[in-house]
Amino acid sequence: MTWIKTVEEKEAAGEVKAIYDASRKLYGFIPNIRRALSLNPTALRAYTQFSGAVYHGGALPAEEREMIATVVSVANRCHY
């Protein structure tokens, strides 16, 4: 649950809706970071393209990406 205003899935239109739909298809849900950027479609598009390149088009296998993400989360005391 975000504490900032976001575009709800049922209210999404245009590019935000397309990104929400793609996120739901890929992950089964819409990640909170994408919801947090939903009021700024330009930032949402840039983040989506960046994360797609890093997480889904990068040279590291999925297991290594997850391991790195876990270590970074622990170092940042992130519960997400």
- Under a CB-based contact definition with an 8 Å cutoff, are residues 19 and 46 in contact? no
- Under a CB-based contact definition with an 8 Å cutoff, are residues 19 and 45 in contact? yes
Q: Tens of pLDDT along the chain (80 residues)?
A: 558 899 999 999 999 999 999 999 989 999 999 999 999 999 999 999 998 887 777 788 888 888 988 999 999 998 76
Q: Give the pLDDT score at 54.
A: 79
Q: Give the pLDDT score at 80.
A: 66
Domains in the chain: boundaries = 10-75
CA–CA dist 1, 61 (Å, integer) = 30
CA–CA dist 15, 45 (Å, integer) = 8
